[in-house]
Amino acid sequence: MYLFSTWGKKESSRLQMALRSLATRKTLTLGLNSRRLIQSRALQTFSLPDLPYDYGALEPAISGEIMQLHHQKHHQTYITNYNKALEQLHEAIQKGDSSTVVKLQSAIKFNGGGHINHSIFWQNLSPIREGGGEPPKGSLGWVIDTNFGSLEALIQKINAEGAALQGSGWVWLGLDKELKKLVIETTANQDPLVTKGPHLVPLLGIDVWEHAYYLQYKNVRPDYLKNIWKVINWKYASEVYEKESA
Ligand SMILES: [Fe+2]
Protein backbone atom coordinates (compact mmCIF):
# COMPACT_ATOMS: atom_id res chain seq x y z
CA MET A 1 0.00 0.00 0.00
CA TYR A 2 2.88 2.37 0.89
CA LEU A 3 4.40 1.71 -2.51
CA PHE A 4 1.17 2.54 -4.34
CA SER A 5 0.48 5.62 -2.21
CA THR A 6 3.87 7.18 -2.96
CA TRP A 7 3.58 6.48 -6.67
CA GLY A 8 1.39 8.35 -9.03
CA LYS A 9 -1.79 6.68 -10.28
CA LYS A 10 -0.10 5.89 -13.59
CA GLU A 11 2.79 3.92 -12.01
CA SER A 12 0.42 2.06 -9.72
CA SER A 13 -1.78 1.08 -12.62
CA ARG A 14 1.25 -0.09 -14.67
CA LEU A 15 2.45 -2.29 -11.80
CA GLN A 16 -0.98 -3.86 -11.40
CA MET A 17 -1.17 -4.53 -15.14
CA ALA A 18 2.28 -6.13 -15.06
CA LEU A 19 1.23 -8.37 -12.16
CA ARG A 20 -1.98 -9.36 -13.95
CA SER A 21 -0.01 -10.09 -17.11
CA LEU A 22 2.45 -12.27 -15.15
CA ALA A 23 -0.43 -14.18 -13.58
CA THR A 24 -2.02 -14.73 -17.00
CA ARG A 25 1.27 -15.97 -18.47
CA LYS A 26 1.62 -18.43 -15.58
CA THR A 27 -1.90 -19.72 -16.18
CA LEU A 28 -1.23 -20.09 -19.89
CA THR A 29 2.03 -21.94 -19.20
CA LEU A 30 0.27 -24.30 -16.79
CA GLY A 31 -2.46 -24.90 -19.34
CA LEU A 32 0.07 -25.64 -22.06
CA ASN A 33 1.98 -28.06 -19.82
CA SER A 34 -1.24 -29.87 -18.90
CA ARG A 35 -2.15 -30.23 -22.56
CA ARG A 36 1.36 -31.48 -23.36
CA LEU A 37 1.05 -34.01 -20.53
CA ILE A 38 -2.28 -35.26 -21.86
CA GLN A 39 -0.90 -35.40 -25.40
CA SER A 40 2.17 -37.33 -24.27
CA ARG A 41 -0.10 -39.74 -22.37
CA ALA A 42 -2.16 -40.26 -25.50
CA LEU A 43 0.97 -41.26 -27.39
CA GLN A 44 2.01 -43.78 -24.76
CA THR A 45 1.41 -47.29 -26.03
CA PHE A 46 2.53 -50.63 -24.64
CA SER A 47 4.46 -53.21 -26.62
CA LEU A 48 5.32 -56.89 -26.25
CA PRO A 49 8.44 -57.40 -24.11
CA ASP A 50 11.04 -59.84 -25.42
CA LEU A 51 11.38 -63.14 -23.58
CA PRO A 52 14.70 -63.48 -21.75
CA TYR A 53 15.12 -67.01 -23.29
CA ASP A 54 14.20 -68.94 -26.46
CA TYR A 55 10.71 -70.39 -26.83
CA GLY A 56 12.04 -73.96 -26.59
CA ALA A 57 14.40 -73.28 -23.66
CA LEU A 58 11.89 -74.38 -20.99
CA GLU A 59 11.31 -77.83 -22.49
CA PRO A 60 10.36 -80.42 -21.43
CA ALA A 61 8.50 -78.62 -18.61
CA ILE A 62 6.76 -76.22 -21.03
CA SER A 63 6.81 -76.85 -24.78
CA GLY A 64 8.20 -74.34 -27.24
CA GLU A 65 4.88 -74.36 -29.10
CA ILE A 66 2.99 -73.25 -25.98
CA MET A 67 5.56 -70.57 -25.18
CA GLN A 68 5.47 -69.13 -28.69
CA LEU A 69 1.66 -69.05 -28.90
CA HIS A 70 1.34 -67.77 -25.34
CA HIS A 71 3.80 -64.94 -25.94
CA GLN A 72 3.15 -63.96 -29.58
CA LYS A 73 -0.61 -64.49 -29.67
CA HIS A 74 -2.11 -64.30 -26.20
CA HIS A 75 0.11 -61.68 -24.58
CA GLN A 76 0.17 -59.63 -27.80
CA THR A 77 -3.65 -59.67 -27.95
CA TYR A 78 -3.91 -58.28 -24.40
CA ILE A 79 -1.50 -55.49 -25.35
CA THR A 80 -3.33 -54.66 -28.60
CA ASN A 81 -6.67 -54.47 -26.81
CA TYR A 82 -5.19 -52.54 -23.88
CA ASN A 83 -3.77 -49.90 -26.24
CA LYS A 84 -7.10 -49.70 -28.08
CA ALA A 85 -9.05 -49.24 -24.83
CA LEU A 86 -6.63 -46.56 -23.61
CA GLU A 87 -6.98 -44.66 -26.89
CA GLN A 88 -10.78 -44.82 -26.59
CA LEU A 89 -10.49 -43.68 -22.98
CA HIS A 90 -8.44 -40.67 -24.02
CA GLU A 91 -11.02 -39.72 -26.66
CA ALA A 92 -13.88 -40.16 -24.20
CA ILE A 93 -12.16 -37.94 -21.61
CA GLN A 94 -11.53 -35.25 -24.22
CA LYS A 95 -15.22 -35.35 -25.21
CA GLY A 96 -16.35 -35.39 -21.58
CA ASP A 97 -18.17 -38.68 -22.27
CA SER A 98 -18.42 -40.09 -18.72
CA SER A 99 -20.54 -43.05 -19.73
CA THR A 100 -17.86 -44.33 -22.11
CA VAL A 101 -15.10 -43.64 -19.56
CA VAL A 102 -16.87 -45.93 -17.09
CA LYS A 103 -17.75 -48.52 -19.75
CA LEU A 104 -14.08 -48.91 -20.71
CA GLN A 105 -12.93 -49.80 -17.19
CA SER A 106 -13.54 -53.54 -17.53
CA ALA A 107 -11.61 -53.76 -20.82
CA ILE A 108 -8.74 -51.79 -19.27
CA LYS A 109 -8.68 -54.02 -16.19
CA PHE A 110 -8.82 -57.24 -18.21
CA ASN A 111 -6.34 -56.38 -20.96
CA GLY A 112 -4.07 -54.20 -18.81
CA GLY A 113 -4.07 -56.97 -16.19
CA GLY A 114 -3.22 -59.51 -18.91
CA HIS A 115 -0.23 -57.41 -19.92
CA ILE A 116 0.95 -56.87 -16.32
CA ASN A 117 0.55 -60.52 -15.32
CA HIS A 118 2.23 -62.03 -18.37
CA SER A 119 5.14 -59.57 -18.13
CA ILE A 120 5.76 -60.92 -14.61
CA PHE A 121 5.16 -64.53 -15.62
CA TRP A 122 7.93 -64.57 -18.27
CA GLN A 123 10.40 -63.41 -15.64
CA ASN A 124 9.18 -66.04 -13.20
CA LEU A 125 10.44 -68.74 -15.56
CA SER A 126 13.98 -69.69 -16.44
CA PRO A 127 15.69 -72.53 -18.35
CA ILE A 128 17.16 -75.21 -16.05
CA ARG A 129 20.68 -74.51 -17.39
CA GLU A 130 20.28 -70.90 -16.26
CA GLY A 131 19.13 -71.75 -12.75
CA GLY A 132 15.45 -72.58 -13.34
CA GLY A 133 14.07 -74.70 -10.50
CA GLU A 134 16.95 -73.95 -8.12
CA PRO A 135 15.51 -73.32 -4.62
CA PRO A 136 15.58 -69.75 -3.34
CA LYS A 137 18.62 -68.70 -1.39
CA GLY A 138 19.09 -65.94 1.14
CA SER A 139 16.30 -64.31 3.08
CA LEU A 140 13.42 -65.51 0.86
CA GLY A 141 14.44 -69.16 1.40
CA TRP A 142 14.59 -68.53 5.15
CA VAL A 143 11.18 -66.77 5.26
CA ILE A 144 9.54 -69.57 3.25
CA ASP A 145 10.88 -72.18 5.69
CA THR A 146 9.70 -70.07 8.65
CA ASN A 147 6.20 -69.29 7.27
CA PHE A 148 5.37 -72.53 5.49
CA GLY A 149 7.66 -75.15 7.05
CA SER A 150 9.56 -75.88 3.83
CA LEU A 151 9.73 -75.03 0.15
CA GLU A 152 8.01 -78.32 -0.65
CA ALA A 153 5.12 -77.42 1.67
CA LEU A 154 4.78 -74.02 -0.01
CA ILE A 155 4.76 -75.63 -3.48
CA GLN A 156 2.07 -78.10 -2.44
CA LYS A 157 -0.08 -75.28 -1.07
CA ILE A 158 0.28 -73.17 -4.23
CA ASN A 159 -0.48 -76.21 -6.42
CA ALA A 160 -3.58 -77.03 -4.39
CA GLU A 161 -4.87 -73.44 -4.66
CA GLY A 162 -4.03 -73.26 -8.37
CA ALA A 163 -5.76 -76.57 -9.10
CA ALA A 164 -8.86 -75.56 -7.12
CA LEU A 165 -9.27 -72.20 -8.87
CA GLN A 166 -12.44 -72.37 -10.93
CA GLY A 167 -12.26 -71.16 -14.50
CA SER A 168 -9.30 -69.05 -15.58
CA GLY A 169 -6.94 -67.09 -13.38
CA TRP A 170 -3.65 -66.90 -11.56
CA VAL A 171 -2.13 -68.27 -8.37
CA TRP A 172 0.39 -66.02 -6.62
CA LEU A 173 3.09 -65.97 -4.01
CA GLY A 174 3.10 -62.38 -2.83
CA LEU A 175 4.62 -60.17 -0.19
CA ASP A 176 2.23 -58.19 1.99
CA LYS A 177 4.31 -55.08 2.57
CA GLU A 178 2.07 -53.83 5.38
CA LEU A 179 1.90 -57.05 7.39
CA LYS A 180 5.44 -57.98 6.29
CA LYS A 181 4.61 -61.57 5.47
CA LEU A 182 4.30 -63.91 2.50
CA VAL A 183 0.83 -64.70 1.18
CA ILE A 184 -0.64 -67.16 -1.28
CA GLU A 185 -3.52 -65.70 -3.27
CA THR A 186 -5.54 -66.49 -6.38
CA THR A 187 -7.08 -63.99 -8.77
CA ALA A 188 -9.77 -64.59 -11.36
CA ASN A 189 -9.38 -63.90 -15.08
CA GLN A 190 -6.58 -61.38 -15.59
CA ASP A 191 -6.90 -59.54 -12.29
CA PRO A 192 -3.44 -58.53 -11.08
CA LEU A 193 -2.46 -59.39 -7.50
CA VAL A 194 -2.86 -55.77 -6.39
CA THR A 195 -6.65 -56.15 -6.81
CA LYS A 196 -6.54 -58.37 -3.68
CA GLY A 197 -4.90 -55.65 -1.61
CA PRO A 198 -2.97 -52.44 -2.24
CA HIS A 199 0.05 -53.65 -0.22
CA LEU A 200 0.52 -56.91 -2.10
CA VAL A 201 3.58 -57.29 -4.32
CA PRO A 202 3.87 -60.31 -6.62
CA LEU A 203 7.00 -62.42 -6.19
CA LEU A 204 5.73 -65.28 -8.31
CA GLY A 205 2.61 -65.67 -10.46
CA ILE A 206 1.54 -68.86 -12.21
CA ASP A 207 -0.85 -68.61 -15.12
CA VAL A 208 -3.54 -71.30 -14.78
CA TRP A 209 -5.49 -70.39 -17.91
CA GLU A 210 -5.88 -73.40 -20.20
CA HIS A 211 -3.90 -71.59 -22.89
CA ALA A 212 -0.84 -71.93 -20.62
CA TYR A 213 -0.86 -75.74 -20.62
CA TYR A 214 -3.61 -77.35 -22.71
CA LEU A 215 -1.52 -78.18 -25.81
CA GLN A 216 0.89 -80.20 -23.67
CA TYR A 217 -1.01 -81.32 -20.58
CA LYS A 218 -4.54 -81.37 -22.06
CA ASN A 219 -7.01 -80.63 -19.27
CA VAL A 220 -4.80 -81.93 -16.46
CA ARG A 221 -3.89 -78.70 -14.71
CA PRO A 222 -2.26 -80.46 -11.69
CA ASP A 223 0.35 -82.07 -14.00
CA TYR A 224 1.24 -78.66 -15.42
CA LEU A 225 1.50 -77.22 -11.90
CA LYS A 226 3.68 -80.12 -10.79
CA ASN A 227 6.13 -79.64 -13.68
CA ILE A 228 6.35 -75.87 -13.81
CA TRP A 229 8.47 -75.78 -10.63
CA LYS A 230 11.35 -77.31 -12.65
CA VAL A 231 11.67 -73.97 -14.45
CA ILE A 232 10.67 -71.47 -11.78
CA ASN A 233 13.08 -68.57 -11.47
CA TRP A 234 13.51 -68.25 -7.72
CA LYS A 235 16.40 -65.86 -8.25
CA TYR A 236 13.97 -63.29 -9.67
CA ALA A 237 11.49 -63.83 -6.80
CA SER A 238 14.34 -63.43 -4.28
CA GLU A 239 15.49 -60.18 -5.88
CA VAL A 240 11.96 -58.71 -5.74
CA TYR A 241 11.62 -59.87 -2.12
CA GLU A 242 14.96 -58.28 -1.11
CA LYS A 243 14.01 -55.00 -2.77
CA GLU A 244 10.43 -54.81 -1.48
CA SER A 245 11.05 -56.00 2.09
CA ALA A 246 14.01 -53.67 2.71
FE1 LIG B 1 -1.62 -66.59 -20.23
Residue 56's closest CA among 114, 128, 123? 128
Under the banding of pLDDT at 50, 70 and 90, the label for residue 44 is confident
Residues 47-73 have a mean pLDDT of 98
Residue 61 C-alpha to ligand 1 middle, in angstroms? 16
207 assigned ligand-binding residue: yes
Q: Half-sphere exposure of residue 222, counting CA atoms within 13 Å on the CB side? A: 6
pLDDT of residue 17: 45
Residue 44 C-alpha to ligand 1 middle, in angstroms? 24
CB atoms within 10 A of CB 175: 24
Residue 50's closest CA among 83, 72, 28? 72
pLDDT at 131 over 90: yes
Percent composition of the chain: helix, strand, coil (DSSP 3-state, to 5): 65, 10, 25
211 assigned ligand-binding residue: yes
Residue 185 C-alpha to ligand 1 middle, in angstroms? 17
Residue 213 C-alpha to ligand 1 middle, in angstroms? 9
Under the banding of pLDDT at 50, 70 and 90, the label for residue 42 is low
User: What DSSP designation does 195 have?
Assistant: G
Residue 134 C-alpha to ligand 1 middle, in angstroms? 23
Under the banding of pLDDT at 50, 70 and 90, the label for residue 246 is confident
Residue 207 C-alpha to ligand 1 middle, in angstroms? 6
70 assigned ligand-binding residue: yes
143-166 pLDDT tens trace: 999 999 999 999 999 999 999 999
pLDDT at 69 over 80: yes
Residue 187 C-alpha to ligand 1 middle, in angstroms? 13
Under the banding of pLDDT at 50, 70 and 90, the label for residue 33 is very low
Contacts of 123 (CB under 8 A, 6+ apart): 52, 233, 236
Residue 172's closest CA among 163, 162, 180, 184? 184
3-state secondary structure of 171: strand
Burial class (CB in 10 A: 0-12, 13-18, 19+), 163: middle
Tell me the C-alpha distance between 244 and 246, whole Å.
6
How many residues comprise the chain? 246
